[in-house]
Amino acid sequence: MTRALVVDDNEENSYYLRTLLEAQGCEVESARNGVEALAKARLVLPDVVISDLLMPVMDGYTLLRRWKSDERLSRSPFIVYTATYTEPEDEKLALSLGADAFILKPSEPDDFLARVHAVQARRGGAAPKSGPLEPGKSEELLKEYSEVLVRKLEQKMLQLEESNRLLQKDIAAREQVEAALRDSEANFRLLTEVMPQLVWIARADGANVHCNQRWVDYTGLTSAASAGDGWLEPFHPEDRARAEAAWRHAREAEREFSQELRLRRVDGVYRWWLVRALPVRDARGRVSKWFGTCTDIDELKESTVKLLRTEEQLRQAQKMEAIGQLSAGVAHDFNNILSVILSYASFIIDGLRPGDPLCSDVEEIRIAGQRAADLTRRLLTFSRQQVLNPRPIDLNRVVRGLDSMVRRLIGDDINLSVISEDPLGEVFVDPGQVEQIILNLVLNARDAMPTGGSITVELSNATLDAAYALDHRGVAPGRYTLLTVSDTGQGMDAETRARIFEPFFTTKPKGKGTGLGLATVYGIVTQSGGHIEVHSELKVGTTFRVYLPRREGAAEPADAAQAPRPSRPRGFETVLVVENSDPVRTIIASVLRRAGYNVLEAQNGGEALLICEQYTGRIHLLLTDVIMPRMSGTALAERVSRARPRRASSTRRAI
């Protein structure tokens, strides 16, 4: 017996097919949609399935695809029996999906059965009894089916009459809904006009159909001029291709469109805008239009750029701070070693007879040690731990004092120009350190011009406001004296500019520089409360700007005479020397003992306090290192003063 599965949500159609097939000896199972049909077919595989197309939950096309993709179900033929779709394309689609036959309703019973038999014969499966229906059977089935349809039609007519009565009652409500809809549309239009954004509406194909007044006022283009693709015209030429590609992709994917683009204002100025559009779907889920807005983000964009620049400055400052701490640690330990070397070199020279051949050798040791000490001093300057002697000075006087020296150093192939504003504000800095700044910058400029060029040294007054200070970390607003050193040399790329203030970084050939010149400048400027910035471009030149804080008060001569060096002192007092470095402590104690002093030695603060408690004599002087483990020199001095208030000297020194 042939098993047939009829899939149709219409009870009359399902009843008709059941009656027709059972008359042919078929066993018939019914389903109201594709989901129900799949469930029943997987329990008992039918010999043939006859399905409508338009059904709830799962339509006939989807059922057909699922049926043919299932290896077991695809063995049974699938016949489409429908009156819903009558276009040739519908039949082509069904057959392309694998339908074995496409039969339109209504169909004569004999013709329908013949088509079903033909399909079963082609597939080699069980088929209904062949041949036409018994005489009069076809008419009997059609009559019975017609009576069922008439009864259903009468029911539909009654339902229609009831619906018409309800419709008459709902006319007023519908008119109210339509009026509300018109009000809603009017409110929507009004909303687009009062919104701070530029608003535009496009069709499903992307063609613009409406722009609000703000768009017109900003771009100068009317809605008519912005129609179609005209709304893309005001965007920056560099952004237009990207905008068009993103807009096309959004329409194809039916997803949100979002781009940051530059939009031309009516006066020709471009500003950054966030351009967004969302698809609007109809009741069937299809995109019917696009609703878009343009939000001004120009100030936000600028703030973001400033934030990124500030973060980069912070990272650079943190890197320089870390390098400074490392340099300070290295310089401190190196300085201790150099103190021992230089001291013993002096001892040896003092012990040699004049003219001794060893004198010149030891002098070379001392000179090399002094050079090393100078490098150490530069490292301490970079790390802002060098002791400064600041006072009010006139930078004009410093530059004039260095003029002849600088001209000799740079050579005849480089032109030096000095420009100064008058009157020039005074700065409160260490004169020797300022000279070092000028010499380092000028010599650095000279080395950047191996074939000659020009160097300009300019002095002027400057005021840095809060906005500048906000963009440059560590800068305080106020009045400054500006020292500018410019050259026409080779210039630097961005990677080199980012590292020029690092100790020992240099682009000069090996043996031509230590890499401490600009690092020293950076340390002096920052320790003096100033600010330095550099601008450079390859094959154009470099400009350094040094801002030093201005101070009021009379200036002191930059070349004031130094006090005469006192003769080597001698004494008899007791000195407590506290130093955690054994070699340094030994050399200090040796120097003091050679000068006649009584020396007490301690390796740290704890030992020093113990000596103060146990030593019965007077301690005239405490000579201590500042940085020591467990207890600093400052803390030690305070505790010694409290422990020996009467016997301790009022004079304390720290090294």
pLDDT at 42: 92
User: 395 and 372, same structural domain?
Assistant: no
What is the pLDDT, as a whole number, of residue 559? 45
Please indicate, yes or no, if residue 384 is contained in any of the structural domains. no
Q: What is the model's pTM?
A: 0.37
Which of 262, 296, 330 terminates a domain? The answer is 296
Q: Is residue 507 domain-resident?
A: yes
Name the residue type at position 278. L
Same domain, 407 and 475: yes
Residues 84 and 18 in one domain: yes
Please give the DSSP secondary-structure letter assigned to residue 235.
B
Provide CB contacts within 8 A for 311, sequence distance 6+. Answer: none
Q: Is residue 431 part of a domain?
A: yes
Q: Supply the CATH number for residue 290's domain.
A: 3.30.450.20
Q: Could you tell me if 436 and 467 lie in one domain?
A: yes
- Computed on alpha carbons and rounded to an integer, the radius of gyration of the chain in Å comes to 49
For residues 278 and 333, membership in a common domain is answered with no
For residue 468, is it within any domain? yes
The reply to whether 369 and 346 lie within a common domain is yes
Residue 167 covered by a domain = no
Answer yes or no: do 360 and 436 share one domain.
no
Q: In CATH, what number is assigned to the domain containing residue 544?
A: 3.30.565.10
Q: How many Cα atoms occupy the beta-carbon half-sphere of 531 within 13 Å?
A: 22
Query: Please, what's the b/e burial string for 328-364 (b: 16 or more CB within 10 A of its CB; e: otherwise)?
Result: beebbebbbebbbbbbbbeebeeeeeeeeeeeeebee
d(CA 612, CA 605): 11
What is the CB neighbour count within 10 angstroms for residue 506? 20
Three-class secondary structure of residue 82 per DSSP: strand
| Tokens standing for residue 109 | 């019973």
pLDDT of residue 561: 41
User: For the chain, how many structural domains are there in total?
Assistant: 5
Q: Are the beta carbons of 289 and 206 closer than 8 angstroms?
A: no
Which residue range is the domain that position 362 belongs to? Answer: 307-376
211 and 251 fall within a common domain: yes
CATH number for the domain spanning 364: value is: 1.10.287.130
One domain, residues 106 and 36:
yes
Instruction: Give residue 548's Cα distance to chain centre.
Output: 34
Q: How many CB atoms lie within 10 A of CB 112?
A: 20
CA quadruple 639, 640, 644, 645: dihedral sign: negative
Amino acid 212 reads N
Q: What angle do CA 66, 67, 70 make, to 5 degrees?
A: 85
Q: Is residue 66 part of a domain?
A: yes
> Do the Cβ atoms of 445 and 485 come closer than 8 Å?
yes
**177 domain-assigned:** no
- Domain final residue pick, 549, 583, 607: 549
d(CA 22, CA 396): 118
Q: What is the pLDDT of residue 384?
A: 47
Q: Are 16 and 81 in a shared domain?
A: yes
CATH of residue 638: 3.40.50.2300
Mean pLDDT by 10 residues, the chain (655 residues): 89 86 88 93 92 90 92 92 73 89 84 87 61 54 56 66 73 65 60 72 84 85 81 87 90 90 89 90 87 86 72 62 58 68 76 76 73 60 55 85 79 88 84 81 87 91 86 83 92 84 71 67 83 90 92 50 55 90 85 89 90 89 86 88 63 38
Can you say whether the dihedral through the CA atoms of 580, 581, 582, 584 is positive or negative? Answer: negative
Q: Is residue 587 part of a domain?
A: yes
Q: Which of 81, 113, 133 is the last residue of a domain?
A: 133
Answer yes or no: do 276 and 358 share one domain: no
Question: Please, are residues 12 and 56 in contact by the beta-carbon 8 Å criterion?
Answer: no
Are 490 and 583 part of one and the same domain?
no
